[in-house]
């Protein structure tokens, strides 16, 4: 996947603040600190296009990024998990739900999970909730560099059982080593543009 341009468009809380690009959009969801922003940076070959942090809850708004002037990547705040004040948290759920429910140009949702952790009710509820809107997320297991190759496969298997999905549907990824970058790109491009995998 050749990324010739990647730029920050805008941050939004409410629908009237979303950009009007008309590009298909791919949104990145997952627990706080799981590596959503790092994954986007890796995809677009930029170290700091999206701010990342070791402190959970770094991303607090819906951030829109344009790629090659034809695709929008959307960084969502950690879905309801962040260690942030309750008052802030109460506004996040509705903010993210409103976006995911109502955004006409949304082509795909990528659910990012830490490969070291067996997903719980939150992830299963999120997947079920998306299914209500006929959406099947692209599932990514990130931070794969933290485990040995054998342990990765074992975890992938355990997570596939926990989520009741086939093991190959769980894409292994690492922002550190860039493992899985091409695979994640092709899943995204397929969702956004059909079978055409070129983003040029």
Alpha helices in the chain (DSSP H): 36-43, 86-102, 121-132, 149-163, 181-193
Question: Which stretch, 30-38, 99-107, 151-159, 174-182, contacts Mg ion (CB under 5 A)?
Answer: 30-38
Identified binder of Mg ion from the candidate list 27, 31, 37, 191, rule CB under 5 A: 37
- What are the Cα distances from residue 95, in Å, to 13, 57, 58, 102? 6, 15, 16, 11
Q: Of the two residues 59 and 142, which places its CB atom closer to Mg ion in the complex? A: 59
54 or 150: CB nearest ligand GTP: 54
59 binds Mg ion (CB under 5 A): yes
**Contact residues: ligand GTP, CB under 6 A:** 30, 32-38, 52-54, 56-59, 77-78, 142-143, 145-146, 174-176
Q: Give the DSSP H/E element, type plus range, for residue 117.
A: none
Q: How many other CB atoms are there within 10 angstroms of residue 71's CB atom?
A: 21
Q: Which is nearer to Mg ion, 37 or 156 (CB)?
A: 37
DSSP H/E element including 148: none
Partner that binds at residue 32, options ligand GTP, Mg ion, none, CB closer than 5 to 8 Å by kind: ligand GTP
Q: Which does 35 bind (CB under 5 to 8 A by kind): ligand GTP, Mg ion, none?
A: ligand GTP
Bridge partners, 63 (sequence order): 11, 75
């Amino acid at each position: 996947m050749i990324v010739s341009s990647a730029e920050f468009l805008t941050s939004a809380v409410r629908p009237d603040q979303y950009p009007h690009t008309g590009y298909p959009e791919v949104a990145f969801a997952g627990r706080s600190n799981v590596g959503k922003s790092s994954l986007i940076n890796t995809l677009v070959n930029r170290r700091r296009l999206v701010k990342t942090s070791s402190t959970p809850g770094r991303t607090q708004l819906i951030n829109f990024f344009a790629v090659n002037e034809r695709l929008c990547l959307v960084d969502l705040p950690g879905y309801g998990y962040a260690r942030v004040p309750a008052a802030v948290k109460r506004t996040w759920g509705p903010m993210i739900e409103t976006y995911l429910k109502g955004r006409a140009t949304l082509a795909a949702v990528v659910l990012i999970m830490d490969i070291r952790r067996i997903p719980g009710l939150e992830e299963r509820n999120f997947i079920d909730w998306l299914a209500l809107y006929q959406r099947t997320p692209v599932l990514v297991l990130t931070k794969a560099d933290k485990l040995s190759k054998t342990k990765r496969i074992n975890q992938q298997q355990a997570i596939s059982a926990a989520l009741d999905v086939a093991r190959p549907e769980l894409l292994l990824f690492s922002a550190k080593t860039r493992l899985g970058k091409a695979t994640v790109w092709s899943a995204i491009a397929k969702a956004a543009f059909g079978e055409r995998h070129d983003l040029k």
